[in-house]
Amino acid sequence: MLSFLTDYTLQNVMIGAALIGIISGVLGCFAVLRRQSLLGDTLSHAALPGVCLGFLWAGSRSMESLMAGALFSGAVATVIMLTLTRRTRLKMDAALAVTLSLGFALGVVLLTFIQNRGGAAQAGLDSFLFGQAAATVRGDLYPMAVIVLIGLSLVVVFWKPLKLMTFDPEYAAVSGLPVRLLELFLTGMIALAVVVGLQMVGVILMTAMVIAPGAAARQWSGSLLGMLLLAAFFGATAGISGGVISALAPGLSTGPVVVLVASAIALFSLLFAPQRGLIPSRWRRRHKRSHTSSDRILLTVYELAREHGDWSYRVEQGAVDAYYGMVTEPLLQALAQRDLLKAADHMPDEGPHWQLTQSGCEYAAARSRDQSRTRRLRQVERPA
């Protein structure tokens, strides 16, 4: 069963996919947090002309020249985007869409230019559209690994400024950091991530690899370090499982399968992550609401008992109903279940009565102290 682990092609696919997942997950976190997720989209579409130029320049499909070309066109795309947003009235979204579509159009033109010039060497160049994992050879992995190492060590070296830039760009600017330079640096890093994924995931879908792991990790972790580590893990998981699935099923392009796995991880995180997940937080809210309202009723009983100077004071259920404008019996029963209240003896003609138990009295006293402390704090914060 595990024999496929030793298969040469599969090994390459798994190592490569893990590298892609790690680098795009880590660098994508910054894009997601800085609300620049679609930068990855634009940079990955704009990488296509660079790949073609790299091919034309080197005359062969060598990984290094294609990557260099892609980095170059990423830089040109960044300059165009910045020019459009800073010097014209076009906004960021239009600049992104314009650069994306024109970059891709240029890529398509160059692709057909190369194809029509013929030559067997061009074979497989259009696999960069969707990625073809099975075409990965061991030699392709080295430049990928080098870029991943460079990218990760840059993150480690510039950890502090990057963190500050991400969460408080204004303070970063005030404290004298070269903000513009760091912005360019982060954009360049995303271009790096895109370049690593070209071969296996393809230019069209690398955007998802930049966004999905980061968006998923954000749901689980509240700290930047935790988020980066998780995003790397999610990215590698998506890359490896997608790469293996597509390598085992002939005819499936790698990129789409990897992206579907990454999207599934993101969807699962959105729904089930313990802190921010939609289902846990909805459940928690409902739980809290029922607790809060029964606690309030208990406090009402407590206050009444205190006003009367009698801890075993019997409160009429009808009075509580009238005070809250609702049927409080289920909540009162729930309080009785928690052994905080107990049903009290009462005259035959009157409705049911309730009184505090010993533990109910202590619990309510504690809650009451909490409340008055919060009230005092609020008064301090908001002087009249």
Separation CA 66–CA 59 (nearest Å): 10
CB 302, min distance to another protein, A: 37
Min CB(369)–another protein separation in Å: 34
Question: How far apart are the C-alpha atoms of 192 and 147, rounded to whole Å?
Answer: 7
CB of 24 to another protein, least distance (A): 12
- Closer to another protein by CB, 11 or 263: give it: 263
Which lies closer to another protein via its Cβ, residue 82 or residue 344?
82
Q: Give least dist CB 240 to another protein, A.
A: 17
Binding site residues, another protein, CB under 8 A: 32, 35-38, 40-41, 45, 84-91, 93-94, 96-98, 100-102, 104-113, 116, 126, 129-130, 204-205, 207-208, 210-212, 214-215, 218-219, 251-253, 255-257, 259-260, 263, 266, 270, 276, 278
d(CA 151, CA 354): 67
Report the nearest approach of another protein to the CB of residue 273 (Å).
9
Judged by beta carbon, residue 74 or residue 107, the one nearer another protein is: 107
**In the bound complex, what is the minimum distance in angstroms from residue 167's beta carbon to another protein?**
14
Cβ-based nearer residue to another protein, 44 or 317: 44
CB of 180 vs another protein, minimal distance in Å: 10
Choice between 67 and 257, CB closer to another protein: 257
Q: Which is nearer to another protein, 173 or 299 (CB)?
A: 173
The values of phi and psi at residue 343, to 5°, are: -65, 135
Task: Please say which residue, 100 or 315, places its beta carbon nearer to another protein.
Answer: 100
| Shortest Å, Cβ 286 to another protein | 17
Give 97 or 344: the residue with its C-beta nearer to another protein.
97
**Shortest Cβ 94–another protein spacing (Å):** 5
Q: Which is nearer to another protein, 220 or 302 (CB)?
A: 220
- Cα angle 58, 100, 191 (rounded to 5 degrees) comes to 55
Which among 194, 159, 239 has a CA at the least distance from the CA of 28? Answer: 194
Q: Provide the minimum distance between the beta carbon of 45 and another protein in the complex, in angstroms, as a whole number.
A: 7
CA distances from 360 to 300, 313, 315 (A): 12, 13, 14
- Rank residues 98 and 344 by Cβ distance to another protein and give the closer one: 98
**Secondary structure (H, E, C), the chain:** CHHHHHCHHHHHHHHHHHHHHHHHHHHHHHHHHCCCHHHHHHHHHCHHHHHHHHHHHHCCCCHHHHHHHHHHHHHHHHHHHHHHHHHCCCCHHHHHHHHHHHHHHHHHHHHHHHHHCCCHHHCCHHHHCCCCHHHCCHHHHHHHHHHHHHHHHHHHHCHHHHHHHHHCHHHHHHCCCCHHHHHHHHHHHHHHHHHHHHHHHCCCCHHHHHHHHHHHHHHHCCCHHHHHHHHHHHHHHHHHHHHHHHHHCCCCCHHHHHHHHHHHHHHHHHHHCCCCCHHHHHHHHHHHHHHHHHHHHHHHHHHHHHHCCCCCCCEEHHHHHHHHCCCCHHHHHHHHHCCCEEEECCCCCCCCEEEECHHHHHHHHHHHHHHHHHHHHHHHHCCC
